Structures are given as structure tokens and as C-alpha cells.
Amino acid sequence: MKNKLLLLLLSFFTAFASAQERQMFSGKVLLDNVGLNDVYIINASAQAETKTNTSGSFTIVAQPGDKLVVYSPRITKREFVLNEDSFKKQPFIITVNAQAYELDEVVMDKDRSIDAESLGIVPEGQKQYTPAERRVFTATSGLLDPIINAISGRTKRLKKEVEVERKQMLLEDVKYVIKEDEIINDLKIPEQYVEGFLFYAIENPKFKEAFQDKNYKLARFVMNGLAPEYLKLIAE
């Protein structure tokens, strides 16, 4: 009995000491030397999560040896382990690369029977664009604009904006159909990780295809398989 009590006390003090060693860690996420907002910073070792602000800055509890995951549908995910040097100069700069996507059809409305065409706002059969798509169309039409914008890189940047916009639209659609309580209670995703899990799900091609085809039963089935993967990711 005494041995068991001693082991429990040792475990408690070890966990307490480990928690005490963690401190507030400041960093900044940059894409092409510009701060990036709404990027998830996950400390998988400490089970902590935060998001970058409008300037790309963040703070999170951490210590040397902790594994950080930097995630957003707009960028290529980064994972790395902090060391002693990571804490010497703060904010710790994290550079990321923009995510490349294959363009596909945009789902314009939850109810496809109600749109600008059916309301008589635009002629029947006329192609409709989102705001970001209109900017791309403007940049690639005319005689000189396509050449100038291609040289300056503006067209490439605008196309990335289209993809970000589409991802955000898809995310809102998913939130509308699959409620937060369902994700927490049925899939056992902690409440503070729900948003990150949804980003993780819409990056999966099978889930994305099923959801955009309105096959919500299949989408939920795929999401059920993704939940253990995501829980393992944040637990590593």
C-alpha cells in the first residue's frame, strides 16, 4: 500500500514539474514575408491549441522537446520539435508555403434551386463568379492585362485567393450540415479541436467529394474514419 502511494505521489510531482517547466512561447507565421492570420498552432505534446492573429503572431505554452503542428487549408502543414535554441530569440519565426489545389466546381448555394439566375438577376446560362473568381477573370482578360499580371505574379496570387475562398465556403457548408455537438459527442473530438478537425476533414478528397455530392451519409462515414487519425495526430 505504501509503495502504491509513493508511486502515485511520484507521478503527481513528475507531472507537476513537467507542467511548471512550460512557459509562454511566442512566434510568428510568415508566408512570403507577410504575417498569416487564422493559422492553427497545435502543441501536440501539451494538448494545447491556438490561432495566429491578424499579424501572424501567436503565443502558446511550450517547452523544449514539444512537438508543434502548424496547420491551415491555405498552407502546407508543418510539424517540428522545439529545442533550446527555439526559445532564445522570440518571436520564433515560422515560414510556410502556400497550399496548391486543383481547381474544381464551386458550390454556390446550399439550396441550388435559388440563385441569381432563377431570380432573374442574370440571364439564363450566364456563368456566375464569386468575388475572388471575378478578380481572376479581370486579371486574365483583355490584351495586355494577362501578360502584365503573369509577369508580376498577380494572377497566381489571385487564383490562390479563389482556393482560399472556396475552402472557406465549403467549411461553412460543413458546419451547417454537421453540427459541433455531433463531432464532440459521436466522434469524441475535444471541443477546442473541433475547428481544426473540420479543416482536417475538408482536406480529405473522399470527404470533400462525398459532401459536395450531398452524399452526407458517406461524408459522415469518411469523417468517422478520419476522427481516430486526427486524435492520434494531436496526441503525438
145-184 pLDDT, tens digit each = 444 444 445 555 655 665 666 777 888 888 888 888 999 9
Taking the C-alpha atoms of 88, 93, 94 and 96 in order, what is their torsion angle to the nearest 10 degrees?
-160
Above pLDDT 70, what percent of the chain?
Answer: 63
- Between CA 186 and CA 195, with CA 192 as vertex, the angle to 5 degrees is 75
Kind and range of the H or E run holding 48 = strand 48-51
- Grid coordinates standing for 147? 501578360
Kind and range of the H or E run holding 49 = strand 48-51
Amino acid at 3: N
Does residue 85 carry a pLDDT above 80?
yes
> What are the pLDDT digits (tens) for 18-48?
444 789 999 999 988 888 998 999 988 888 8
DSSP lists the bridge partners of residue 79 as 69
Mean pLDDT (the chain, rounded) = 75
The rounded radius of gyration (Å) of the Cα atoms in the chain is 22
Domain boundaries, the chain: 21-95, 178-236
Question: Is CATH 2.60.120.260 the right assignment for the domain spanning 21-95?
Answer: no
**pLDDT category of residue 95 using cuts at 50, 70 and 90:** very high
